[in-house]
Structure formats: structure tokens, C-alpha cells
Structure 1
Amino acid sequence: MYLRTFFVGTVALLLAVFPFITASKAMDETQLHNAAKQNDASLVTRLLAEGAEIDAHNSSGATALLIASRTNAVEAARVLIESGADVNAKDNILDSPYLYAGARCHLEILRMTLTHGADLKSTNHYGGTALIR
């Protein structure tokens, strides 16, 4: 009986808290982060024109450009880079758009970061450079 009560109580607590957990995660990223993730270059352009902070970090430290790099969202990355996004901005685990694109062989984004000031001496949390891969 005690175990059943504990289980039901635990499930009820999780169901009560779950919406807040997912809501806080959703609020963590800006519209610019989400547009970059979706590779919506026209929305990225519009948000930047409306004053969105190009290098805003979410709670994991990722910028919109890093998110675009992770999803290989080439068009969104192009708009962000050409608009001045920092190709060397690191997240909480020391990944940057340049490092991530190199590690994942996202060659178009890697080329763009290289032509827009990538720090070739930059290393990730493992101490590796983007060109190791």
C-alpha cells in the first residue's frame, strides 16, 4: 500500500511540474535561436532587422549561429554570419560555430566561419581544434 501511494504521489508531482520544466526550456531560446534551428533565413533576416540580439546566448551558452551550425542550417548561418555573428562565440562546453562545423564536417558553414574570422587556435572542451576531424 505504501509503495502504491508513493508511486501515485510521485507521478502526480511529475505531472504537475512537467509543464513548468518544458515551459522554462522553451523560454530559454529566443525567436532568433528558433528561426536558426529551423533554417528560416527570411525570419532570421526580419528578426535581426527588428533588433534581435545577434549573439544572444541561451542557458547552455549557445548563440543562434551555434544552433544553426549544429543543425547544418546553412542559409540561416549565412544570414547570421554575413550580419556579423561571432563565429568564435563559445557555449558552456566551449563549442563555437567554427569548432562545431569543423567537428561535424558541416563544410559550407565551416568555410563561412573561416572566411569571417575563425580563430584557428581555438580549442573545444576536449582540447581539439576544428581541423582535427
Structure 2
Amino acid sequence: MNRRQRRALRSRAAAIAREVAVGVVIEGDDGGLAKVAHPRAIAILREEMVASLQTGGAPVVRKLTEAEAAVFPHVACGSACTPAWLAVALGCDGRMGVVVRRLRAIGDTTNDAAAAAVVIAEVAELAASPSIPGLDHVRGTA
């Protein structure tokens, strides 16, 4: 992406995020797909998409509070609840990659830096895909 394209992204970041956030589909651990429909979840996605687009599409990671995580599909809290994470990045084909995950704790603690690295790796994998070849690869893109 050249400077002119990055500038255009930055200037239109809010408008792009507003349009894209309403169409995000998230894959659960069981492989099921669900559209993000809750207004608060869409607002969170919009905030993070704007932040990503302002930096030319670089990955943005956010540790979600329990209240924020509860509004996303497939992120329900079980008996041993670990923090939920959201990662957003612009893909090479212009699609926004989105990952929302609860990661298993090792022992009694969760390392925030390691958890952030895992969701960045997942969103980077989505962002590196040139297109969506079939429904089995729809996870987390809009």
C-alpha cells in the first residue's frame, strides 16, 4: 500500500469502519458461524477498526472486559473464565480480519502478552489470505 492509499484509508477510517462492522461474522470454537448483531459489539468493532485503519491496517488488539465479551457471539464465559481478546487487521485483499477468542489459561494464570500474540497470529493468518475461497474459510471476516 502506498502513501496515497494509506492517507485515503486514514481519512475515511470512520466511514469504512461504520459500514464494515455491521457485517462481521465470527467463528466459534465449534466451527459454527454467527453474525455480530449486538449494538455494543458493533461499536467495539467499529472503534478497533478505526484504530487499525488509522495505522494503515496494522493489527490492533484489545483485551475485552467481561461485559464487552458477553455481547459477542461464541464468547460465553464458562466456569473457569479466562479473559477474552479481540484482534482486528486489514487483509491483503482489503477485507477486515476479526478474531475474538477466550484463550485457555496455563495453570492458574494467563499471560496477557502471550494471549495478545496468539490473537495477533490468528488475525494475521486471516489478513494474509488473498480471498475467501469457501464458507469453510469465512471465519472472522467482513
The normalised TM-score by structure 2 is: 0.25
Instruction: Using structure 1 for the length normalisation, give the TM-score.
Output: 0.26
Q: Which has the higher helix share?
A: 1
Larger Rg: 1
Say which structure, 1 or 2, has more relative contact order (CA 8 Å, 6+ apart).
2
The structure with the greater share of residues assigned to strand is 2
